[in-house]
């Protein structure tokens, strides 16, 4: 291929810019023209497409977010919208795409391939770390460290005032952030979507450790079956009379910030591997890292499977936090 496009889609994740940089410079290295598609599938429909030069991606490796932007597109869900997107790609002579995003972004690119034969490869860009075929997704390490730093600060004030804090982290459908952060911050309990939450057990535990610990941190993934941190706090508060209880929602701060070294390296390696594969004619493939090696899976496999949490970490949290 001599002309490829790159775009980011779905929620932004630290390291996306590093991936964009890798795609652009790898394409140029192999004497291909690289076009940036701004604002995801929406920009594809609106023809927000322009060629990117070597210097356009200079000094972005360390920046959070995505210089290409990201947006939802209801129009892309329609055949008419997708036809318009394809026409714009064809008008620029774009022969293949690199999509950086989650499974929804991969699905959109696959539909474009099914209907119009546009080759594409996918890079896992999401802080949720729930994509199949990779040990880590681009942005996860940074988001995890953001949570750890924030909770460490909350622990300081919790200890000073002998408080219980329910801290909500991102994870609508997966508990990777909550689980790994729970181990890293020494949380007394972590509530995640993959496990049914028993509020009676939670109340019993908090009563049992009262007086034994200066503070308690309960991490709550936003997709927990009993609700978010504020919901759960309000449900158990009537049974914890005399306890000083607070809730904190970390929210979108988890998506921002300069990417960690791990995310920069991951994005750069996968960007090079995916772009070289696309240029050589590879398509319908998702890229990741297993161990320390680049791993490639078919896009159907990446979309239809879900990465599962390591429940052994729940046991680690229980052993290390219970009195």
Are 117 and 152 in the same domain? no
Residues of the chain with pLDDT under 50: none
Annotated catalytic residue within 128, 130, 141, 224:
128
108-137: pLDDT as tens digits: 999 999 999 999 999 999 999 999 999 999
Q: What is the pLDDT of residue 322?
A: 75
Question: Which residues are part of a known binding site for Mg(2+)?
Answer: 103
Are 171 and 243 in the same domain? yes
Largest CA distance in the chain: 69
Q: Which structural domain, as residue segments, surrounds residue 54? A: 3-139+259-304
Question: Which residues are part of a known binding site?
Answer: 11, 21-25, 72-73, 102-105, 126-128, 155, 163, 170-172, 186-188, 212-215, 222, 246, 252-255
**Pairing state of beta strands 96-101 and 33-37?**
unpaired
Whole-number Å distance between alpha carbons of 122 and 68: 16
Q: What is the pLDDT of residue 323?
A: 66
What is the number of domains present in the chain?
Answer: 2
Q: What is the pLDDT of residue 22?
A: 98
Q: Could you tell me how many residues make up the chain?
A: 323
264-306: pLDDT as tens digits: 999 999 999 999 999 999 999 999 999 999 999 999 999 999 8
Mean pLDDT (the chain) is 96
Catalytic residue check, 200: no
Are 27 and 135 in the same domain? yes
Are 115 and 171 in the same domain? no
Are 189 and 214 in the same domain? yes
Q: What is the pLDDT of residue 185?
A: 97
Determine, yes or no, domain membership for 289.
yes
* CATH code of the domain covering residue 215: 3.40.50.460
Are 117 and 8 in the same domain? yes
Residue 296's closest CA among 285, 281, 312, 282? 285
Are 120 and 267 in the same domain? yes
Whole-number Å distance between alpha carbons of 305 and 232: 30
Question: Which residues are part of a known binding site for ATP?
Answer: 11, 72-73, 102-105
């Amino acid at each position: 291929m001599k002309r490829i496009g790159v775009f980011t889609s779905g929620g932004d994740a630290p390291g996306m810019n590093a991936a964009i940089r890798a795609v652009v410079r790898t394409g140029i290295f192999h004497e291909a023209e690289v076009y940036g598609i701004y604002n995801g599938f929406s920009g594809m429909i609106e023809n927000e497409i322009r060629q990117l030069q070597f210097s356009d991606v200079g000094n972005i490796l360390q920046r959070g977010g995505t210089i290409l932007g990201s947006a939802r597109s209801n129009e892309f869900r329609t055949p008419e919208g997708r036809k318009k997107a394809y026409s714009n790609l064809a008008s620029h002579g774009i022969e293949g795409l690199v999509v950086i995003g989650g499974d929804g972004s991969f699905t959109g690119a696959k539909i474009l391939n099914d209907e119009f034969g546009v080759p594409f490869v996918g890079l896992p860009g999401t802080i949720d770390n729930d994509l199949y075929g990779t040990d880590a997704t681009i942005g996860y390490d940074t988001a995890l460290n953001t949570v750890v730093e924030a909770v460490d600060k909350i622990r300081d004030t919790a200890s000073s005032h002998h408080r219980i804090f329910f801290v909500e982290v991102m994870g609508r459908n997966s508990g990777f952030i909550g689980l790994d952060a729970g181990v890293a911050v020494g949380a007394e309990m972590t509530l995640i979507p993959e496990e049914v939450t028993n509020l009676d057990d939670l109340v019993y535990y908090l009563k049992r450790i009262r007086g034994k610990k200066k503070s308690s941190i309960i991490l709550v993934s936003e997709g927990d079956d009993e609700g978010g941190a504020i919901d759960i706090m309000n449900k158990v508060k009537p049974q914890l009379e005399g306890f000083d209880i607070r809730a904190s929602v970390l929210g979108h701060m988890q998506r921002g910030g300069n990417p960690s070294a791990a995310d920069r390296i991951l994005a750069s390696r996968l960007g090079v591997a995916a772009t070289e594969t696309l240029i050589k004619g590879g398509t319908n493939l998702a890229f990741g890292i297993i161990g320390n090696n680049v791993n490639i899976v078919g896009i159907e496999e990446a979309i239809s499977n879900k990465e599962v949490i390591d429940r052994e970490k729940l046991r680690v949290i229980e052993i290390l936090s219970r009195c």
